[in-house]
Amino acid sequence: MKIILPVILLLLISSSFISAENHNQETQVEIPGEYDKVVLTGKTQSFHGEPIHETKIKVIVNGKEQPIITREADKELGTEVEFADNNEVVSASDGEYTAIIYLPKNTAEKADIKIHIEKPTYKSREIEIKGITKITDGEYIHYKDITPERHIGAAFYISAIILILIYILISFEILHRTLAALLGASVLLFISYVFGHFNTDFYILSFENAKNYIDFNVIYLLMGMMLIVGVMKRTGIFQWMAYKSYQAAKGDIWKLAVILMIVTAFVSAFLDNVTTMLLLTPVTIEIALILRISPWSLLMPLVLASNIGGTATLIGDPPNIMIGSFAKLTFMDFVIALTPVVIICMVALIIMMKFKYGKYYKKANLTPENIEKLLIRLEKEYKITNHALLKHSLVILIFVVILFILHGTFHMEPSIAALIGASLLMISAVVMDKVDVAHMIEREIEWPTLVFFMMLFIVVGAAVETGLIQLIATWVANVSSSGLGGLAPVVLAVILIIWVSAIMSAIVDNIPFTATMLPIVAYLSQVIPNVEANILWWALALGACFGGNGTLIGASANIVTAGIAEKGGHPITFIDFMKVGFPVMIVTLIISTIWMLFVFPHIM
């Protein structure tokens, strides 16, 4: 052993020197004394115009690989020519690439120049360059956008299988949802780097790519609002709200549920629905425990209402923010187009919850005598415990809400508003209530929920990277344009976008699917005749947002609510959530489809 280790170390050092020497030899290429400078540039993008990054590009001249320059020679400044490693450049995050080559003088226009592109999950190909443009004597340029063709290979099937397996693991509670997502993300990266090292067909996504798919705006938003709620809980405000809510309902649990659903939907339209559930879930659990009923008999109506209410405005749900930004739609555009159908869907939700939980609420109702006694006890027990901290909390919360409303004006991510609010509120808590910051962060932040989000983003990102989600989106575009079943293309497009978006949003998170659908809808809005008043954008918003009610993992608000409830000892299974949420999704989609096809065209 004493001999083997030094030998291995020596071999590793020697190999590194050899590699460095070979690299130096490869890059020491002579440039002709007189030369033609040729700049090849453009973008690598999908046929929808989406940028494709990390595409490797080589230049073939007269059948031979040509050294690519990454930094040009400048005799006056004394800089040296720097060649690209392995004679290749890689497209940037926006898909742009630039390859500079030097050819012998007066040979550029006659040379046989080809660009060779290569990227995992895409087919390798060579593209002939014709008609380079002469700028000055000895300088040429050619702009070429490249659209690689998808390769349905091992990476595609692996990402699809892992996505389906994770869905099964979560659906049947074989593994905790956080562990299932963590396992899926780690397996995808492991396969990419180990098996992908030997065969690029198995390369799914890079570590850097995986990080890029994590929406840290969502993560930081959740973290900030969890801390805000955690500090406010110390004031007794949520217990006091539980008492006041019960007092307003006068012991009628059904009336209490209706009040909470309306409040939740309204607040979700102006805060995002995730923040709304972060604020209201602790209150609802308190109310349910006081009334001695299952917290989920009140939480389910609330979380469904939050997803419906959040659809009404630009800032209510992440898909709406993405759609508004891409299509240049304003806050009032969303209010005018979507608020009426959201109100109708809220009425439908209230009726459905009456049938689902009405009898259960009725059995749990207390007698008038018991109601009065309970109100007296609640008034004594549930009081504001720290008025000074509560005042600071409300001021900071109002400040955060204003920032949420104005974040588009400042071009600021919503998470920044949550983080600045959380920071200020934590300082107030330290000064006024002597809280232990480390203990607060450890206890109040739902770390399993945040890890689940991050890992799920990676898993879905792999499906996007290998073309799985894009394949579904492309199918929508093709079928819509075909006029299937004799339906007008615009009618078929509305139906497909609403229903496919909803179903896919129930299976995977609606954020990455919405991102994939944006260029599809933009393309359809241009090529399908008689498309008016941004109807396809509203169809996408309704489908993506209402589809979040279908399953536990369909919307961020669902996952956050489940995480808080589980931490309090009130978990819900995937199947139990789906039994209530999926019928609501179907009914609201039917209402949305009828609205968009028969009512919307006549009022806009």
Number of domains into which the chain is organized? 2
Query: 527 in helix, strand or coil?
Result: helix
Amino acid identity, residue 503? I
Is residue 355 situated within a structural domain? no
Is residue 158 situated within a structural domain? yes
pLDDT value for 77:
37
Cα angle at 156 between 152 and 160, to 5 degrees?
Answer: 135
Main-chain dihedrals φ then ψ at residue 77, nearest 5 degrees:
-85, -15
Residues lower than pLDDT 70 in the chain: 1-33, 47-48, 70-81, 171, 238-239, 242, 271-272, 363-371, 373-374, 472-473, 476-477, 480-487, 509, 512, 529-530, 533, 601-604
Same domain for 171 and 68?
no
Half-sphere exposure (Cβ direction) of 192: Cα atoms closer than 13 Å: 23
Give the residue from 99, 118, 143 where a domain finishes. Answer: 143
Contact 306, 273 (CB under 8 A): yes
Helix (H) or strand (E) run with residue 319 in it: helix 318-327
Place of tokens 């007008």: 488
Same domain for 42 and 139?
yes
Contact 466, 121 (CB under 8 A): yes
Is residue 164 situated within a structural domain? yes
Distance between CA 502 and CA 521 in Å, rounded? 15
| Long-range pairs for 138-141: beta carbons < 8 A, 24 or more residues apart | 138/34, 138/35, 138/36, 138/37, 138/105, 139/36, 139/37, 139/39, 140/36, 140/37, 140/38, 140/39, 140/108, 140/109, 141/38, 141/39, 141/40, 141/41
Is residue 335 situated within a structural domain? no
Give the residue from 194, 213, 232 where a domain finishes. Answer: 213
Same domain for 79 and 174?
no
Is residue 160 situated within a structural domain? yes
Please, is 107 exposed, middle or buried when counting C-beta atoms within 10 Å of its C-beta (0-12, 13-18, 19+)? middle
Main-chain dihedrals φ then ψ at residue 69, nearest 5 degrees:
-90, 130
- Provide the CATH number for the domain around residue 80: 2.60.40.10
Please, is 590 exposed, middle or buried when counting C-beta atoms within 10 Å of its C-beta (0-12, 13-18, 19+)? middle
* DSSP state at residue 40: E
Which positions ≥6 away from 481 have C-beta within 8 Å? 489, 524, 527, 528
Q: Which two tokens stand for residue 598?
A: 């028969």
Please state the pTM of the whole predicted model: 0.75
pLDDT value for 528:
73
Q: Which two tokens stand for residue 377?
A: 């006890």
pLDDT tens profile 85-96: 778 888 888 889
pLDDT tens profile 431-466: 888 888 888 898 888 898 889 888 988 988 898 888
Place of tokens 């394949």: 471
Question: End-to-end distance of the chain based on CA atoms, in angstroms?
Answer: 81
Same domain for 58 and 115?
yes
Same domain for 126 and 47?
yes
pLDDT value for 81:
65
Same domain for 138 and 180?
no
Same domain for 78 and 114?
yes
Q: Which residues pair with 128 in a beta bridge?
A: 114
pLDDT value for 549:
92
* DSSP state at residue 595: I
Please, is 442 exposed, middle or buried when counting C-beta atoms within 10 Å of its C-beta (0-12, 13-18, 19+)? exposed
Give the residue from 213, 236, 259 where a domain finishes. Answer: 213
Main-chain dihedrals φ then ψ at residue 571, nearest 5 degrees:
-75, 160
Same domain for 139 and 163?
no
pLDDT value for 483:
64
Residue 196 Rama label (left phi>0; alpha psi -120 to 50; beta): alpha
Residue 42 Rama label (left phi>0; alpha psi -120 to 50; beta): left
Q: Which residues pair with 58 in a beta bridge?
A: 116
Distance between CA 292 and CA 273 in Å, rounded? 27
Q: Where are the alpha helices (DSSP H) in 434-467?
A: 437-444, 447-465
Same domain for 136 and 158?
no
Same domain for 73 and 159?
no
Distance between CA 596 and CA 251 in Å, rounded? 40
Residue 40 sits in which domain range?
Answer: 32-143
Cα angle at 46 between 41 and 48, to 5 degrees?
Answer: 120
Is residue 358 situated within a structural domain? no
For the CA atoms of 262, 267, 269, 275, the dihedral, rounded to the nearest 10 degrees, stands at: -130
Residues shown for the chain: 604
* DSSP state at residue 571: -
Nearest to 514 by CA among 362, 327, 255, 333: 327
Same domain for 72 and 164?
no
Is residue 40 situated within a structural domain? yes
Is residue 169 situated within a structural domain? yes
Main-chain dihedrals φ then ψ at residue 118, nearest 5 degrees:
-150, 130
Distance between CA 464 and CA 472 in Å, rounded? 10
Same domain for 135 and 163?
no
pLDDT value for 10:
42
Query: 286 in helix, strand or coil?
Result: helix
